[in-house]
Structure 1
Amino acid sequence: MVALLALSPALSAPAREGWHPSFADAQAASARSGKGIFLCFTGKEWSAVCRQFEQHFLADPGFTEMLKKDFEPVQLDVSAFRDMTGKEEDPMPEEARLKLEFEVTTFPVVFLIGRDGRPYAVTGFRPGGIDSYAKHLEKLRESHAQQEALLARARQSSGPRRAELIAQALPDIGAFRMAQFYGDLMREVVKLDPENTTGFARDFEIKLGDHEYVKAMREMDRDLRWSDMLALTDAYIEKYKLTGSELQAALMNRFDILRRQQNFPEMVLTLDEVYRINPYNPHGRQAQQFLAKMAQQIEEQSLLESLQNQE
Structure 2
Amino acid sequence: MKFSFHQFAFAAVTALFCSGAALASGEGWVTDFEAAKKQAAAEKKDLLIDFTGSDWCGWCIKLDKEVFSEEAFKTGVKDKFVLVSLDFPRKPENVEKLGETLKAQNSELQKKFAIRGFPTIMLCDATGKPFAKTGYQEGGPEKYVAHLDGLLANKKTRDEALAAAGKAQGPEKAKQLVAALKAMDLDDGAVASFYGDIAEQIKAADPNDESGFAKAAAAKEKKAAFEKELTTLLRAKDTAGAIALIDRTIQTGDLDPETKQQMTMAKTSVYAQAGKFDEAVKVCDEAIALAPDSKSVPRIQAFKEQLGMAKSKAADAPKEKE
Q: What interval of TM-score do these two structures reach, taking the shorter chain for normalisation?
A: 0.5 to 0.7
Aligned-residue offset at 1:61: 3.8
Q: Which amino acid aligns with 1:192?
A: A
Structure 2 distance, partners of 1:127, 1:285, is 27
Alpha-carbon offset, residue 188 of structure 1: 0.7
After TM superposition, the structure 1 = structure 2 runs for residues 141-290 of structure 1, keeping only pairs within 5 Å, are 141-170=152-181, 171-204=184-217, 245-249=223-227, 277-278=248-249
Aligned residue for 2:30, secondary structure, equals coil
Amino acid at match of 2:40: S
* Unaligned stretches of 5+ residues in structure 2: 1-21, 92-100, 251-262, 272-322
> Which amino acid in structure 1 is aligned with residue 29 of structure 2?
W
Q: 1:69 aligns with which of 66, 76, 79?
A: 79
SS of match in other structure, 2:209: coil
**CA displacement at 1:138 relative to structure 2:** 1.2
Pairwise CA distance, 1:133: 1.7
Contact 2:51 2:118 in 1 (8 A): yes
> Is the contact between residue 20 and residue 74 of structure 1 (CA under 8 Å) also seen in structure 2?
yes
The letter for the 1-side match of 2:197 is: D
1:1-20 alignment, distance < 5 Å: 13=23, 15-20=25-30
Q: What are the within-5 Å matches in structure 2 for residues 58-137 of structure 1?
A: 58-80=68-90, 93-137=104-148
Give the alignment's TM-score, normalised by structure 2: 0.58
TM-score, scaled relative to structure 1: 0.60
Shift of 1:250: 5.8
Please list every run of 5 or more consecutive structure 1 residues that lacks an aligned counterpart in the other structure: 1-11, 82-89, 211-241, 260-269, 289-311
Deviation for aligned residue 1:118: 1.1
Change (3 A) 1:184 1:69: same
Q: How many residues align?
A: 228
Distance (Å, rounded) in 2 between the aligned partners of 1:139 and 1:285: 34
**Greater RCO, 1 or 2 (C-alpha within 8 Å, sep 6+):** 2
Tell me the distance in 2 between the aligned counterparts of 1:131 and 1:65.
10
User: Contact (CA 8 Å) 1:274, 1:287: kept in 2 or not?
Assistant: no
Alpha-carbon distance between aligned partners in 1 of 2:150 and 2:267, rounded to the nearest angstrom = 39
Q: Aligned in 2, Cα 1:22/1:65: closer, same or farther, shift over 3 Å?
A: farther
Displacement of 1:252 in angstroms is 6.8
Mapped to 1, the partners of 2:76 and 2:153 lie a distance apart of 17
1:39 aligns with 2:49: yes
Asked if structure 2 preserves the Cα contact closer than 8 Å seen for 1:26 and 1:72, the reply is yes
- 1:23 and 2:33 aligned: yes
- Residues 221-271 of structure 1: CA distance to partner in whole angstroms, max 9, x if unpaired? xxxxxxxxxxxxxxxxxxxxx5xx45434657999xxx9xxxxxxxxxx99
RMSD between aligned residues? 3.8
Given that residues 246 and 266 in structure 2 are in contact (C-alpha distance below 8 angstroms), is that contact kept between their aligned partners in structure 1? Answer: yes
Supply the distance in 1 between the matched residues of 2:58 and 2:247 (Cα, whole angstroms). Answer: 41
SS in 2 for 1:73: strand
**Partners in 2 of 1:18 and 1:148 — Cα distance?**
28
- Of the two, which has the highest radius of gyration? 1
In structure 1, distance between residues paired with 2:230 and 2:30: 41
> Which amino acid in 2 is paired with 1:158?
Q
Closer/same/farther in 2, CA of residues 276 and 62 from structure 1, 3 Å limit: closer
Task: Determine helix, strand or coil for the equivalent of 1:16.
Answer: coil
Contact 1:147 1:169 in 2 (8 A): yes
Shift of 1:39: 0.1
Query: Contact 2:70–2:141 (CA<8 Å) still a contact in 1?
Result: no
